[in-house]
């Protein structure tokens, strides 16, 4: 095994600008900032990136279930959107669990289950067991 370091370069050489979506061009400073961000991401373990993505899905689902801390939490409730987010989270957690290990997956599963129960409680007509959001991945939640 060699002791090689990975280097990342975004775009063209240092004296060229790079067109991006919308026709704008990145300056050298912007290209350097993007390259730095790529290096930063390269240093982050996959389990942390997976956990962060799951937390974003959980947070959005909680707000859509009406669990926001603000006074207008009921106004922010959108169970159709919550269903989508919870189902995506369930698939994500189920797929990631074998890769990240039980010590990391357990809290994600707990959060998912809490959201599934909150969804059931918020629904005026609860889904049949096994038919709630994400339950095709997790099994029935009671």
28-87 residue pLDDT tens: 888 888 888 787 788 899 999 999 999 999 999 999 999 988 888 888 999 999 999 999
Question: Could you tell me if residue 99 is inside a domain?
Answer: yes
Give 87-107 pLDDT, tens digit per residue: 999 999 999 999 999 999 999
Q: Is the pLDDT of residue 135 over 70?
A: yes
Q: How many domains does the chain have?
A: 1
Q: What is d(CA 127, CA 139) in angstroms, rounded to the nearest whole number? A: 13
Q: What is d(CA 138, CA 121) in angstroms, rounded to the nearest whole number? A: 18
Query: What is the extent of the structural domain holding 124?
Result: 45-135
Question: Could you tell me if residue 17 is inside a domain?
Answer: no
More confident residue, 7 or 65: 65
Of 134, 135, 137, which Cα lies nearest the Cα of 84? 134
């Amino acid at each position: 095994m060699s002791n090689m370091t990975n280097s990342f370069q975004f775009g063209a050489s240092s004296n060229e600008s790079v067109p991006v979506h919308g026709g704008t061009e990145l300056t050298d400073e912007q290209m350097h900032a993007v390259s730095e961000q790529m290096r930063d991401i390269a240093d982050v373990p996959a389990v942390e990136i997976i956990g962060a993505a799951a937390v974003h899905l959980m947070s959005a689902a909680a707000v859509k279930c009406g669990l926001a801390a603000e006074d207008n939490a009921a106004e922010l409730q959108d169970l159709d959107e919550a269903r989508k987010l919870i189902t995506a989270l369930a698939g994500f957690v189920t797929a990631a669990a074998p890769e990240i290990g039980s010590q990391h997956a357990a809290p994600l599963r707990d959060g998912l289950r809490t959201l599934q129960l909150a969804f059931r409680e918020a629904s005026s007509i609860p889904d049949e067991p096994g038919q709630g959001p994400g339950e095709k991945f997790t099994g029935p939640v009671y």
